[in-house]
Amino acid sequence: MTERSKESVTPTTTIGVNCDMGESFGIYTLGCDEELMSHITAANVACGFHAGDPSVMAETIAAAKRHGVAVGAHPSLPDRQGFGRREMKLRPDELESLLTYQVGALTGFLAAAGMELHHLKVHGALYGMTARQSDLALTVCAVAAAYDVPVYGMAGTMHEECARRAGVGFVSEYYSDLDYADDGTLIISRTHGAAEPELAAERARRAIREGLVESVGGVDVAVRADTVCLHSDTPNAVELAAAVSSVVAEENASRQPAPQGGLQR
């Protein structure tokens, strides 16, 4: 286990805001990536299997560099038509090859831009599959270890357990624009509807302060918000990001130590 991995295992005192983006393709535009960059700290960039293409990857990385935003790989099941939100059966060795292929492509573009890979976060249906299946989650962690980066995922699932077992860093996400089921799992829909910014911001504040979010059934379920996630394909993503990032900034400021020494007279 590297020193970088050891450090990333310790929960950060600064909460981040991350966004799934880089999901346009050819002449088709999806999401307002440039406008979102000023509200986030990390971009999860699509690697071509559910969305994105080589030009979009390069353009998204360039935008992230201009805004000082870290870039993570956002690989998917090979399902462009279903936007990576349909499950399929895979052996761990098949998944390892799929991930290595996609992350390798993104790191090539990052190297060309003079940037480094920041993290690994799988997309869509694969995110849900790896939250439940230890063999697939361990495969994700093995690829993350090969690139010496932490994994983004959900606390209390196989994401966290397998990261611990594999000795890689883990960053727990809270989702501000998705609903949670009564058992604490994410409800991953094929398309995202608009989210009410003020409500989403207050829910994010509660997730940060109390580690709780209300499910669709009215049950409080446990979450941990090391970083708050947004999706660029949410219809009002920019307004949502502005509201949520403002709350995160306030919460980060409240965590800063008080100045020493008081006023000078």
- What is the Cβ-side half-sphere exposure of residue 243, based on CA atoms within 13 angstroms? 19
Distance CA 151, CA 73 (A): 10
Distance CA 176, CA 31 (A): 17
Distance CA 49, CA 225 (A): 28
Q: How distant, in Å, are the alpha carbons of 130, 173, 178 from that of 190?
A: 18, 20, 11
How much is the pTM? 0.90
pLDDT at 6: 32
- Kindly give the confidence (pLDDT) of every residue in the chain, 265 residues in length, as a single tens digit, with 9 standing for 90 and above: 233 333 333 344 799 999 999 999 999 999 999 999 999 999 999 999 999 999 999 999 999 999 999 999 999 999 999 999 999 999 999 999 999 999 999 999 999 999 999 999 999 999 999 999 999 999 999 999 999 999 999 999 999 999 999 999 999 999 999 999 999 999 877 777 788 999 999 999 999 999 999 999 999 999 999 999 999 999 999 999 999 999 999 999 998 765 555 444 3
Do 37 and 67 form a contact (C-beta atoms < 8 A)? yes
Distance CA 36, CA 234 (A): 12
SS3 sequence, the chain? CCHHHHHHHCCCCCCEEEEEECCCECCECCCCHHHHHHHCCEEEEECCCCCCCHHHHHHHHHHHHHHCCEEEEECCCCCCCCCCCCCCCCCHHHHHHHHHHHHHHHHHHHHHCCCCEEEECCCHHHHHHHHHCHHHHHHHHHHHHHHCCCEEECCCCHHHHHHHHHCCCEEEEEECCCCECCCCCECCCCCCCCCCHHHHHHHHHHHHHHCEEECCCCCEEECCCCEEEEECCCCCHHHHHHHHHHHHHHHHHHCCCCCCCCCCC
Residues forming beta bridges with residue 22, ordered by sequence position? none
Distance CA 181, CA 195 (A): 17
pLDDT at 259: 58
